[in-house]
Amino acid sequence: MAKIITVTSGKGGVGKTTTTAAIGAALARTGDKVVVVDFDVGLRNLDLIMGAERRVVYDFVNVIQGDARLPQALIKDKRLDSLFLLPASQTRDKDALTEEGVDRVIDMLSQHFDWVICDSPAGIERGATLAMRHAEIAIVVTNPEVSSVRDSDRIVGILDSKTLKAERGETVDKRLLLTRYDHARAARGDMLKTEDVLDILSLPLLGIVPESPDVLRASNMGVPVSIHDPDSAPARAYRDAALRLKGENIAMEIPRQRGGLFSKLLRRAA
């Protein structure tokens, strides 16, 4: 049976889809069978971040409505044999996802994969609550910025009340992933520090992903950032986070950009 992870945040634009793709690819690179599922019906983007946008034939809604079988809708990653994508529908609206439909699909997926990673839409509406419904682990993606922290706190409350685990009287294992972190600005006192956010939200820390141009570069290319440039700081941060999810004890650090001025110049020229 698979471990089911939901990547969530409440606020939009903090890095949920980037995180889903990056953690999915990092886990698949360790040999595990991984499926990433896009719950953002009407505004799908995981396909684009994974570089699979031209290979979408059937989607999540087609499977729920019986117009396609699950294997027909799953897209195999071009780079990693054990990584699959279940895209959301772009043309339907959010009500096309039903509780029973989602239950059925997640159940089938969890029989065939080691990890099912659900990419939640922003907000706290139906799509978001359906995405977190089956979660055993929730990755709460947060930027060190007031509105993101506030929305994360709200999402934590919803994770504690509206998931299957909550209904059974259990709790979802919630982990904080701090993204777009700028160490220099935090050190200057112009950005919330990791400890500030941890204090306020009181969640265990899964990782710190530094602000980096590599994230945009990877998304431009349609490659999960964790495998695009494996030496880049965000790639290392996401790989460490993935290993922590697998239970490995990896020391927490904020990866910095490696290399000196010369390699930076080379990188820029490339």
Point out which residues bind other proteins (CB under 8 A). 145-146, 149-150, 153-154, 157-158, 160-162, 166, 186, 188-193, 196, 199-200
Query: Nearest approach, Cβ of 152 to other proteins (angstroms)?
Result: 10
Q: Which is nearer to other proteins, 14 or 88 (CB)?
A: 14
Least separation in angstroms between residue 205's CB and other proteins is 17
Nearer Cβ to other proteins, position 55 or 185?
185
Is 257 in a helix, a strand, or coil? Answer: coil
Residue 172 in contact with residue 132, Cβ under 8 Å?
yes
Helix (H) or strand (E) holding 236: helix 233-245
- CB nearer to other proteins: give 166 or 243: 166
Nearest to 226, CA basis, from 241, 211, 247, 206: 241
**CB closer to other proteins out of 188 and 268:** 188
CB atoms within 10 A of CB 130: 24
248-257 long-range contacts (CB < 8 A, ≥24 apart) are 252/205, 252/207, 252/208, 253/208, 254/181, 254/183, 254/194, 254/208, 254/210, 255/210, 256/183, 256/210, 257/212, 257/232, 257/233
Beta carbon nearer to other proteins, 40 or 151:
151
User: How far, in Å, CA of 247 to CA of 270, rounded?
Assistant: 37
Minimum distance of other proteins from residue 220's CB (angstroms): 31
* Least distance in angstroms from the C-beta of 195 to other proteins: 10
CB 152 within 8 A of CB 201: yes
Smallest distance, other proteins to C-beta of residue 178, A: 14
- In 3D space, the residue among 14, 31, 53, 15 whose CA is nearest the CA of residue 221 turns out to be 53
Closer Cβ to other proteins, 41 or 132, answer by number: 132
- Minimum distance of other proteins from residue 184's CB (angstroms): 13
Nearer to other proteins, 71 or 204 (CB): 204
CA distances from 86 to 106, 141, 192 (A): 11, 21, 35
Nearest approach, Cβ of residue 232 and other proteins (Å): 26
Integer Cα distance of 224 and 20 in angstroms: 9
